Amino acid sequence: MTASGSASAAISGRTNRPADLPAATGPRCVVVGGGASGATMARYLKKENPKFDVVMVEPNATYMSCFLSNLWFDDLINLETLEHSFDDAAASSGYVWLQGKLIDLDREKKRAYTSEGYIDYHYIVLAPGIDYNYKSIGVTDPEMVVALMQKFPAGFKPGSEHLSIKKKLANFEKGVFLATVPVGNYRCLPAPYERACMIANYFKKNKVKAKVVLLDPGEKPFAPKAPGFLAAFKELYGNIIDYRPSTNIKSVDPIKRTVTTEFETIKFDDGAIYPRVRAAKLIEDLGLSDPKSPQMEGDIDVYKYFAKGDQTCYITGDCRPMPFSKSGNTANSEAHYVAKVIAAHEAGKEIQWTSPQTICYSMVNGTPEEAIVVKAKYDKKTFGFTDVHLDNKRSRALGKADHEWGAGLYRDMGF
């Protein structure tokens, strides 16, 4: 692999047509992906250096957030809270949104090929999020993978998957609703446990005779918040959540609706099955993954985020290789820092490393709304948690703070 672009034959669709964009008015920065990382990055690149001409490339018509989506499953918020306009974000933040997809990259020419034509850039930031690895739960046959993705979507990528799960809950009459926790550093470590609580609360208040079976390869829920989740499981949902720790999934049959663990085969009526995550395949297709990374995350300078040897190409958000929590707040605070790194590079300066911040509320009760929380930064050498603030005692005050936190994050992303 050379610095000239992708190594993969899977990449195609280079076009000689430039994207239909106004002429650049300053150093052009292309941001790929409009999630917590990309939307924040596009906004803050412009704030850090108003001369930057920023173009965000994102294929989805609207932004729909993953964070807070568990609250929607329990009707604690409406869909309007989750869904936002990329037009509004771009207009208020002073960048251009190109609705399209990055397809290929020529890093020697500094040319990004998109579904809408090519864009020549000074800097490019890749923030395309995650993809799923169904092999991790023993599903390799492409027909079965498609059946599993469509019948029992994980609900950890924005958009259709969440709409599908919401409908499942509304239509669920009785029986076993299956939920799973992946192995590895997956997107939002506490979210599968929060989701089990929100789904159980939804069934409880709607008097649906359901069991939420939660299969977890770990010995207990996500470590810092384990006491808060275990208390909620026992005290609020004792006869609804059937939590099974230390349970590895060997295979899933989406047609027969069975999941096989090392102990038994469980029949389920409906569910949302969450396999291991990996960095978006785009990163690998562009030849930018670290081949040693089991989740194919970006091969970058871990303090400055640029692709090794190329200070014009950056990889951020949930496809970074550092073991930070793959969360919205982490991606957002990290984007503030990386925008500064790029602005400093353009000005021929250096800046000090700043830790991203993880702030993660989990709503464990929906009636009344009560949450728990962890806030932390990361150690510069080990990238382990430092400055941890933890509150595992569920409370209404934290429930209220959860909503405020979400609203603040949307605002900071420009929505």
Ligand X SMILES: Cc1cc2nc3c(=O)[nH]c(=O)nc-3n(C[C@H](O)[C@H](O)[C@H](O)COP(=O)(O)OP(=O)(O)OC[C@H]3O[C@@H](n4cnc5c(N)ncnc54)[C@H](O)[C@@H]3O)c2cc1C
186 or 233: whose CB is closer to ligand X?
Answer: 186
Quick note: the x/- pattern for ligand X over 142-171, rule CB under 6 A, is: --------------x-x-------------
Q: Does 56 bind ligand X (CB under 6 A)?
A: no
Give the distance, in angstroms, between the CA of residue 131 and the centroid of all CA atoms in the same chain: 9
Strands 209-215 and 83-84: unpaired
Q: Does 321 bind ligand X (CB under 6 A)?
A: no
Of these, 5, 27, 38, 399, which contacts ligand X (CB under 6 A)?
Answer: 38
Q: How near is the Cβ of 332 to ligand X at its closest, in Å?
A: 8
d(CA 407, CA 101): 28
What does R_g of the chain's alpha carbons equal in angstroms?
21
60 or 293: whose CB is closer to ligand X?
Answer: 60
Of these, 96, 236, 360, 371, which contacts ligand X (CB under 6 A)?
Answer: 360
160 or 246: whose CB is closer to ligand X?
Answer: 160
Q: How near is the Cβ of 331 to ligand X at its closest, in Å?
A: 4
Q: How near is the Cβ of 9 to ligand X at its closest, in Å?
A: 17
- Per CB under 6 A, which region of 23-31, 188-196, 208-216, 345-353 contacts ligand X? 188-196
Q: Does 329 bind ligand X (CB under 6 A)?
A: yes
Q: Does 55 bind ligand X (CB under 6 A)?
A: no
* Locus of tokens 């957002």: 332
Q: Does 228 bind ligand X (CB under 6 A)?
A: no
Of these, 27, 34, 221, 287, which contacts ligand X (CB under 6 A)?
Answer: 34
Position closest to ligand X via CB? 35
Q: Does 128 bind ligand X (CB under 6 A)?
A: yes
Q: Does 69 bind ligand X (CB under 6 A)?
A: yes
Q: Does 214 bind ligand X (CB under 6 A)?
A: no
Of these, 33, 182, 254, 275, which contacts ligand X (CB under 6 A)?
Answer: 33
Q: Does 180 bind ligand X (CB under 6 A)?
A: no
Q: Does 399 bind ligand X (CB under 6 A)?
A: no
Of these, 42, 48, 54, 67, which contacts ligand X (CB under 6 A)?
Answer: 67
Residues ≥6 apart with Cβ < 8 Å to 348: none
d(CA 146, CA 330): 31
- Per CB under 6 A, which region of 67-75, 163-171, 305-313, 391-399 contacts ligand X? 67-75
Q: Does 283 bind ligand X (CB under 6 A)?
A: no
Q: Does 218 bind ligand X (CB under 6 A)?
A: no
Q: Does 333 bind ligand X (CB under 6 A)?
A: no
Binding site for ligand X (CB under 6 A): 32-38, 57-60, 66-67, 69-70, 101-102, 127-129, 156, 158, 187-188, 191, 195, 280, 282, 317-318, 326-329, 331, 360-361
